[in-house]
Amino acid sequence: MSGEDNSSLKREPVKATFVFDGQPYEVTAISADGLQVECPVGFAPETIRQLREGGFEFVLRDPITRNEIELAGELVRTEQAGEDGRVVKIWIVKNEKEWSRPGRPGGERTGREQEDGIALAVPRGRAVKTIAVGGGKGGVGKTLITVNLALSLSRQQKNVTLLDGDFGNGNCNTLLGITRIENSLEEYLRQERSLEEVIVSTAYPGLRLVCGAQNKVDAWLTSEKSRLLEDIRQIEADCLLFDLGAGMNDETLELYRIADHKIVVVTPQMTSLQNAYGFVKSAFYYDLKTHSRLAALLDQAGNDTIKLHDLIGRLKDGHPARQAFEVVRARQGIQIVGNQVNDDRDLKIVKNLQKVVEHYLHIDNRILGILPSSDAIRSSINRITPFAALFPDSPVTREIDRMARELTRGMARSRF
């Protein structure tokens, strides 16, 4: 909420406390839609990590009467203070549970609760959930999984926009049966179309697509990247998915960085494992470099992650650089999808990625889903139709549907 917004509000102070995981925080704005919460000393990185995982339950307490209301909500925005990266302000929107303003002292209600509520400065056009699917190496099935995940999400009554983040060889459109492309990211980056103008409908209700550029557009990326990132935040959708291109260029890493959910696809081959780890490490370092307080430590550690963690560990608790590091590390949590995993030996190789990421990077991770090789998948590729559409009862579709439910747990339906 901007200073101008705050100065225009002439309403009484909010009397409420946000309680999450047993810890109380000050509510500084509240309305029928949600609330704004502040913590001047900074929220703990673990708290922010938990809030970013999806829908959660919390308690809204009247600090005078101690009356409490149990609610469900979802984190939609955070604000950091200074260069140390501390999250000091968060915005939460209501979710499935009944929502009401806390009672006034003595339990009285004035009938003016909606009027007294402070409107939240939550960017309503921004996608509620952003999901990036990457992995570094081409050919592991990122696009296949992203397209079918997007379709599954749309079938759960979500408005979904899929952005093909390949800036030179986009092919999400092909798997969705769209063979003729009139507008794509290329026209947007050339400033010939707005981002909204290059979003196209698909044959599947609730699912829209931003086609990837079909030709290399590197010459435009440096100057247009900030515009793209800003416009992405204005896309109206419940779920916004990024199908990241192969490689580890800045554009790919930036899309990965801003996503709420970070998915890494890996196949049970050592080359895929190495590339996936390299991608996660590059993304981590890319995010760390956005904080000036960490520049000296990064230079000192070079590319040695063990040395970097050792240097951070020598800093005192509360040191700005240490706090900034922990904030960045907390938002790196990845969700692994194993593709072409056919037996326990294959699964063991995929789980090795978990161990390596935890041991060397100290990044939280979990396995979101496991997909075996399947005739349904091969047939869908040849028929340029998502396997979730062709074979809705197949094991691979059931697994994709389960993954989609995991990612949107706690989200209310918005399309009827």
More confident residue, 363 or 15: 363
Q: How far, in whole angstroms, is CA 158 from its chain's centroid?
A: 16
**What pLDDT digit, counting tens, does each position of 120-141 carry?**
443 444 556 889 999 877 778 8
SS3 366: strand
**200-216 residue pLDDT tens:** 888 998 899 988 776 66
Residue 24 belongs to what H/E stretch?
A: strand 23-30
pLDDT of residue 410: 55
Residue 349 reports pLDDT greater than 80: yes
Which tokens sit at 113?
């609760």
pLDDT at residue 115 tops 60: no
Residue 330 near residue 46, CB atoms below 8 Å: yes
Comparing 221-225, 248-252, 256-260, 401-405, the range with the smallest average pLDDT is 221-225
Which ranges in 156-249 belong to alpha helices (H)? 172-175, 185-189, 218-232
Residue 337: half-sphere exposure toward Cβ, Cα within 13 Å? 28
- What local confidence, expressed as pLDDT, does residue 9 receive? 32
Q: At what angle do helices 142-155 and 395-407 cross, to 10 degrees?
A: 70
The pLDDT, as a whole number, for residue 185 is 81
Which long-range contacts does 302-311 make (Cβ < 8 Å, 24+ apart)?
A: 305/281, 305/360, 305/361, 306/360, 309/362
pLDDT in tens, 150-166: 999 999 888 899 998 87
* Its pTM surpasses 0.75: no
CA 260 to CA 283: how far, in whole Å?
14
- What residues contact 6, with CB distance under 8 A and at least 6 apart? none
Tokens of 209: 């697509």
Fold held by 3-116: Thrombin, subunit H (2.40.10)
pLDDT band at 264 (very low <50, low <70, confident <90, very high): very high
Q: What is the pLDDT of residue 80?
A: 79
Mean pLDDT of the chain: 79
pLDDT value at position 4?
Answer: 37
* Residue position matching structure tokens 């072409």: 340
Check: CB of residue 199 under 8 Å from CB of residue 208: yes
Beta carbons within 8 Å of 112's beta carbon, 6+ residues apart? none
pLDDT digits (tens, 9 = 90+) for 28-38: 887 766 788 98
Of 18, 215, 284, 248, which is closest to residue 138 (Cα–Cα)? Answer: 248
pLDDT-wise least confident of 28-37, 59-68, 105-114, 267-276: 105-114
Domain spans of the chain, in order of start:
3-116, 129-407
Q: Which residue has the higher pLDDT, 11 or 319?
A: 319
Given the structure tokens 């005192």, which residue do they identify? 316
Ranking 111-120, 284-293, 352-361, 370-379 by mean pLDDT, the lowest is 111-120
Name the band, by pLDDT with cuts 50, 70 and 90, for residue 16. confident
User: 67-78 pLDDT, tens per residue?
Assistant: 778 888 888 788
Task: Identify the pLDDT of residue 147.
Answer: 93
Q: Which residues, other chains included, contact 275 with Cβ-Cβ below 8 Å and sequence gap of 6+?
A: 135, 136, 137
What is the DSSP secondary structure assignment for residue 360, as one 8-state letter? I
Q: How confident is the model at residue 84 (pLDDT cuts 50, 70, 90)?
A: low
Architecture of domain 129-407: 3-Layer(aba) Sandwich (3.40)
- Give the separation between CA 113 and CA 123, rounded to whole angstroms: 23
